[in-house]
Amino acid sequence: MTQKTKFVLVGLAGVLAGAALTVNLSAIANKDAATALPIEELRAFTDVFARIKNDYVEPVDDKKLINGAINGMLNGLDPHSAYLDVEGFKDLQVGTQGEFGGLGIEVGMEDGFVRVVSPIEDTPAFKAGVKPGDLIIKLDDTPVKGMSLGDAVKRMRGKPGSKIKLTISRKGTDKPVVVIITRAVIKIRSVKSKLLENGYGYVRVTQFQEHTGELLADALTDLYKDNKAPLKGLILDLRNDPGGLLNGAVAVTAAFVKPDSLVVYTEGRSEDAKMRLTASRENYLRPMQIDYLKNLPEGVKQVPIVALVNSGSASASEIVAGALQDHKRAVIMGTRTFGKGSVQTILPIGNGTAIKLTTARYFTPNGRSIQAKGIEPDIVVEDPNLPSEDDGLGIREADLDKHLSNPNGGDPAPVVIKPSESIKAAPPAKPGKDGKDKDIKPLTLEPGEIVSKNDFQVNQALNLLKGLQILQGR
């Protein structure tokens, strides 16, 4: 029986980087060998192939036809199954290392156009103002309609320093938005941290990569050193985190929960699509790797946590939020997450290409499916710098064509805090006559800062942690 490398993804919606990716060996040859082939349908396929070869107005290369057929089969299944040519497969593997060339956006296909799931922080696309939910309709002067996702990604990639014009359809705008972006080598440091004030730390995970667990351990250690005492509270920022390597998500969760606690499990048709991943070293470490979570500062597993999420939090970040919520290890604050709850397996074909195939759904420790629903925060705090959830301008998994359904039911209604209802300790904001905040300051970063002092959601999280500290003192 042939052994092939199999990559398992439960994350990013696009091809610009992989999501929730693990590597193992699995025997996939001869699977379902007893399944009868659909002879009539295959005969129809060969007839169409022959007609195109003989009668099409221009000669067509065999490889182009076959690749188009493979693309069509996979694109017709769901928004996340896709064919990866040689370049696309290499890009996916390189992207998980934290460095790749391009614009810095996570994308998927919808109705023949490229839909932005999330711009990656500190990249050219992010700085140019590309937003989650944007629909890319032209690349330079070429319409996207009719392109495969892989072809669109190829056009967006290019030599660092070269420019590309994106024409974007954005909900809430009457005319297409045109942005010109200069390509760059995308280098992403997946964990950023700082001490907000004495006793309260902030950690931002921008994407789950190969070294995210190690970087988190270093960040927590540094925060405790900088504070010179155990932390009173910690903000874990997962906003606009589109996913990443699965072992990275397990590592981040394992840093805060009890050893061997269930983090996530998956269910699919085949036996190797069924996994139970716990907060155990074998589920987040590479072979022979030293356990970087072993010597975390004392108190990390007890420190009160507020985890921030929004509609750009997808897949691996939803796994972390769901696990922390189920284990009652963190208060989840923000807005409902993207809802990417399916598992994609990368199956190399053998000629340098691969297929990305949806093979399972994943579930939180309490058996909740995130698919097409997302994680509902315990406390909803809207971002005043973005459209309200009520405006329906966001894009989530449930909005994508041919998305998988959610196999289980709903959660209790969360507490909702809108900016105009904020407590006095929140950032300066004066409600207008219509009840909306007119004077909320825009998010601006000072040189060397990783989070804005005017970040309303971060300040609300800090207020909550201080309140919890007062209650614990009593």
CA 445 to CA 458: how far, in whole Å?
A: 14
The three-state secondary structure class of 128 is coil
For residues 337, 339, 342, 347, the Cα torsion angle rounded to the nearest 10 degrees is -70
Burial 14-31 (b: 16+ CB within 10 A, else e): bbbbbbbbbeeebebeee
Q: Is 356 a catalytic site residue? A: no
CA 82 to CA 347: how far, in whole Å?
A: 11
Tokens of 122: 């500190």
Q: Is 81 a catalytic site residue? A: no
Q: Is 134 a catalytic site residue? A: no
Marked catalytic residue, from 241, 326, 383, 437: 326
CA 11 to CA 317: how far, in whole Å?
A: 8
**Segment holding 90, helix H or strand E:** helix 86-95
Marked catalytic residue, from 190, 311, 313, 315: 315
The beta strand positions in 199-293, using DSSP E, are 200-205, 233-237, 262-268, 275-278
Count of CB atoms within 10 A of residue 437's CB? Answer: 20
Marked catalytic residue, from 131, 138, 154, 340: 340
Residue at 363: amino acid letter: F
Closest CA to 345 of 330, 360, 335, 334: 360
What residues form DSSP beta bridges with 113? 110
Cβ burial of 389 (10 Å; 0-12, 13-18, 19+) is middle
Tokens of 228: 């010179």
**How does DSSP classify residue 331?**
E
**How does DSSP classify residue 148?**
-
Cβ burial of 79 (10 Å; 0-12, 13-18, 19+) is buried
Which positions are catalytic?
315, 326, 340
